[in-house]
Structure 1
């Protein structure tokens, strides 16, 4: 805390730095300074060879020797040991210079006092009837704004503190009691509430821990489920890919077989055509000869030449029925997958930390917190 004085004319102030004396020294003219302050001042006058007192301006031909002021040091030491007011503290309204922390406030004097200045209120009969309370930074809040009396009565009906004049005016007929007497009862109620809050806080802390562990377990289970589903779907995809490869291989095998059979049949037909052309060339002279002996000598009496080899019909050239079967397979797989995916999603939705009732209550609570 700064050792600065609020009263600049306080004799415990250093005339140079205006702060509380530190390591005080006194000159021969009787004025006191901080040792560092007067040394610094005289250091600047060394070139002149003449030194002066910053307070009375008396001069010295030689730089005076400085000695520590034991009396002032003791006084300052005792003052520093007092409970000086810090930021946020209530200060004594009587203290001059250093502001000492107040310990009590008087609702009659409307002032706050340190341990020293509160003594008259405890020792003098003139202050015996004054109302002392713990040092308050807001004394005005403890005074009735209408009657300027202490708020020392508690009104049950309006649940607030009032003054004695209020009792006979707007609070006439209300149930009242001394605020000082009622406060211990309310404090006992607060103790019960505090105990309840502590227990509730403990229970909620346990619940938080439980749900933190549940979240970790839930995440671990979800990760395992994702990995397992990836593995199963990979296996399903691999199985479908294997079936696709088998169907592809089956189609190609059937294609090769039928193409080989067709090419073999084409080869045989070509050979038959060559043979028929040769036979046809032998018949041509017989059709134009007039020599009956030649005709019958070369006439093909064998009936084999007249035999008719029926041609094979071409059918089932496309794999349309296969495509229909594959389409049916796809439809069936879609139906099965849709059915099972619905079941799978339902199983996923069943993994809940809260049931729907608890979830709705939680949402309502969050809504009330936001609106509040």
Structure 2
């Protein structure tokens, strides 16, 4: 241990509460070390049992046992410190500037180890020995070496300042107390010293406590900055995802708009090209006919002209182009239609993206929910772990003050009275189910009106021939439903987890009582409802 002691830092053995070397060091569950007295006193003052350094809260106050390994290291550290002090004191060193020299040494003045308030002199190790061995000198009061010992003598009577006048708040000698201060309250110097020392120790403790509070405040601020940075990074990532998706939608709308214009122009150009091709073909044929007519009209052969006249005189077979034209397409309203279509697309896209973001945020508040068998209707069968419920008709209904008797419901064990909470339920394959949150005082004996006015915020689905039976229930056929509660905002939302879509939200709600998760299932062949672990959507 000694071999490696040179590499140890003195701060390793300091308690962060009292800032002194450990006394009875203990290690708390988070791994930090403190003096047993310091951490006990800290927990006695504070309401919660938490680590002063990392602020980790403990459900119960930890049982403290002295860490023997650290205690042995501290003991070794103390021994080494004493050895260093002894070795340094045994070395006869000359007094350096700022150090008190020995008053007896001749020649080289050695460093003084103690000052005598009786002799009014300071002594090095050699010249101090008589005060440690001689019986008459042992009674002298020694102290850490100081200069100007004459300042500790009364300037009027040249006697040691042994008393303290509390009236004048000054140090006096024995003669002063009977001459100038005989009517004053005078106490021994040591007595006043002890009182003032105790006050200074209290001040020191207060300063240390202030230092600790400021260290904790620094850590709190660092934690706040870290939380803020994580939130900022998360918000930037979500914002980039949403805005990038919207940007891509805008780019697709722009490309579709340009393509529509270009398709119309291309159609117009193709029509014109076909007309021009036909016209050029007719022009070619008319040129040929014109050449034949010209040749025949210039001929001197009477018989040839008369024989060809009928065929050449007849009008050539040609299309009537009078009403034929290329009409430019109308582009009026194209931009407005494109903008309207883009607006509709962006609106749907934004709803979906925002629902995905909200779902991811809600999933951060996932809690472990289990079913309470004491509240289950007799037609419901719960799994051993309280995570799954099935319906099985039971004719022998037993009344119980906590059970649901009329409606086939079961509550969760957990209650919510503040904060945010989220849980997921697999409903796949069921034709009739209901789930959500209800107030603590919900009527378990009569018929439940599933409305917020009656303290019930429930999503339900009833299918007949694969069709939804009611416009008030789930408008999709989800396989897994997420339930989110924000107590402060008065918000309860239901999500289709696989589609990352919002099914329904109740806003502006008031919750005067505790809320409990509630589940219902009907039909022997409909499978089961299962509370499943939350896997956050990426």
Which one has the largest radius of gyration? 1
- TM-score, length-scaled by structure 1: 0.41
Considering fraction of residues, name the structure with more strand.
2
- TM-score, length-scaled by structure 2: 0.31
